[in-house]
Amino acid sequence: LDVGQRTVIEAEAVEWMSSQQSFPEGSCVLTGIPDLVEAATAGSSKTMTVEHYRIWFQQVARLIFQRLPAGSRAIFVQTDTKVEGSAGSYSEWIDKAFLLQIAAQHVEGIRLLWHKIASFDTVGFNSSRGGGMTKTRYSHMLCFGSGPSCAELYAGPVASVPDVLRRGRTTWARGIGVRCCLALCRYLKKSGFHLVVDPFCGEGLVFAVANHYCMN
């Protein structure tokens, strides 16, 4: 039985990426940069300010872009954040798709290839589960390519990822979702990649699904 292999590196993700000249040749990235409430300043248990988080988020995105091999892909699954205001309100919306595209503009050769949506609920309805109206009920799926040889064919692998799909079950509240991960790993395999890098692997769903498709 042909199964994918799995290597887990126990390290702080940003420090590890900073120590790498490049991700392995022939590899791609499928990940989600941590949310505001998950990210903490180095050596502190305090959460970041909104402005600090925006800067940190773009720095992390640039680290990933700068380490992509030529012809590679980096797919981000990101859920926007509503910054809580006074009771029953929010004061600001952090658009992570916008932050990713701003970061990409500062790395030569990085281009956005597609932008799709993973809905938490049936399209047209907001569920009361998982925060209801207090939380964003969809995730952005953005795929970036590195170098001039990363054009997408209309009828190529990208056609296997619907423009809007259901997220599917998650192993934790901010997880990517099984349906979403299956579609994205299927796209990466059809695109010819056999090694998936997830710097923020969490509970390991990306690893499990990549192995399901016999990817390392």
SS percent in the chain: helix, strand, coil, step 5: 30, 20, 50
pLDDT at 126: 65
Q: Is 172 a residue whose pLDDT tops 70? A: yes
pLDDT at 129: 57
The owner of tokens 């992509």 is: 68
Query: Tokens representing 190?
Result: 């059809």
pTM, entire model: 0.92
Q: Which of 84-93, 117-126, 140-149, 155-164 has the lowest mean pLDDT?
A: 117-126
Amino acid identity, residue 42? A
- Residue 94, strand partner residues: 81
Higher pLDDT, 2 or 188: 188
**Where does the chain show beta strands of DSSP type E?**
27-31, 73-78, 81-84, 90-94, 110-119, 138-146, 164-166, 195-197
- Residues 74/64, Cβ–Cβ less than 8 Å: yes
- Residues 112/159, Cβ–Cβ less than 8 Å: no
Q: Calculate the dihedral angle through the C-alpha atoms of 201, 178, 172, 118, rounding to the nearest 10 degrees.
A: 100
Mean pLDDT of the chain, nearest integer: 89
Query: What percentage of the chain has pLDDT greater than the value 90?
Result: 69
User: pLDDT grade, residue 85 (50/70/90)?
Assistant: confident
Q: Is 165 a residue whose pLDDT tops 60? A: yes
pLDDT at 24: 95
Q: Is 44 a residue whose pLDDT tops 60? A: no
Question: What is the rounded average pLDDT of the residues 25-39?
Answer: 92
